[in-house]
Amino acid sequence: LALALRRNKLFLFGCSSVLRRNLSVLGSTRSMASKTPVGFIGLGNMGSPMAKNLIKNGYPVIATDVFPECCKELQDLGAQVVDSPAYVAEKADRIITMLPSSPNVIEVYTGSNGILKKVKKGTLLVDSSTIDPAVAREMAVAAEKMGAVFMDAPVSGGVGAASMAKLTFMVGGLEEEFKAAEELFTCMGANVIYCGQVGTGQAAKLCNNMLLSIGMIGTAETMNLGIRLGLDPKLLAKILNMSSGCCWSSDTYNPVPGVMEGVPSANNYQGGFGTTLMAKDLGLAQNTATNTRTPIPLGSLAHQIYRVMCSRGYANKDFSSVFQFLREEEAQ
C-alpha cells in the first residue's frame, strides 16, 4: 500500500510538472502573440523616439518615412524599413502614424501609395499627428470602408517626454477598440486618456496647445520684463515656480537661455516643438473656434504672434523662441 501511494504521488507530481510546463508555454505563446509587428510611419522629432520605445518593449517595428535618412537610426536598432505606407499596411495589422499636418495625413492614408491601398481587414490604425478633428473623422470613414479601424491619439509632452516614454495620449475612437490600442500607448506614454468618439482626441490636443502657446508667451513676456527691471533670470524663475504664476513653460520648459539645462532655450532653440507647428496648431484651433462660434481672443493673438515669428526667421526654431522674438522686437 505504501509503495502504491508513493507511485501515485510520483505520477501526480509528474502530471503537475507537465501541466506547469504547458501553462508556461501557453503564457509564452500569448506573450509572443501580443508582440506582433507594429507599423510606424513618420520618424521625425516625435515619431522616432516613440518607435524606439516600441522596440525597447519588444515589438518588431516596420517603418517608413518620406525622408529615408530618418530611418537609419531605427534600422540600426532592428526595425524593418520599407518604401511606402502601403507596404507597411501589407506587413502590419497595427499601424501608428505621426505626421506634421492634415494634408500629410490625408496623403499617407489615401494617396496612391497610402495605407488604405493595401490595408488588411481588421487593422488598427492610430494617428498621433495633430490635425483638424474633421480630417480625423474623414479618415475614420475611409478606413471603415476598407474594414479597418481608425483612432486619433495625439500626444502632449514634447520630445523629452517622447524619449522617456512619458507622453500623454488623448484618444478618440470606438471604446471597444481602446484596450487593444492602450497596450501600445503604455509603451510610449505615462498617461492614456480616452476622450470619446473619433476627433475628440484632436479636440483635446488643440485646446491644450492653445493654452500652451498663451502660457509660453506670458512666461516670455514676464521673464523679459523682470530682466529689464534688474532681476536675475534664474532668481525670477525660482520665484515664479514657487508662486501662483508657476506653469509648465516656467518650471519645465523655460524660454530664457541659461535658466535651465536640457531644453531648447539652452541650445539656441534647436529641437523641440517648432514654431511652424505651433502656428499650424493655432490655425486649427482658430478654425474650430470660428466653426463653433467660440470667442478665443488670447488664442487668436497667440496665433498672430507665431505667424509673424514664422515670417521673421523663427519658423524652424522651437516655439519657446518667442522670448528671443520679443527681445529683438524691443531693440527695434
56 is catalytic: no
Q: Is the distance from CB of 64 to CB of 115 less than 8 angstroms?
A: no
Q: Is the distance from CB of 60 to CB of 6 less than 8 angstroms?
A: no
Query: How many whole angstroms separate alpha carbon 258 and alpha carbon 222?
Result: 16
Q: Is the distance from CB of 136 to CB of 177 less than 8 angstroms?
A: no
E strand segments, the chain: 38-41, 61-64, 80-81, 94-97, 124-127, 149-152, 155-156, 167-172, 189-196
Query: How many whole angstroms separate alpha carbon 85 and alpha carbon 119?
Result: 10
Q: Is the distance from CB of 187 to CB of 165 less than 8 angstroms?
A: yes
The owner of cell 534664474 is 234
Catalytic residue among 56, 91, 120, 205: 205
Q: Is the distance from CB of 64 to CB of 71 less than 8 angstroms?
A: yes
The residues annotated as belonging to the active site are 205
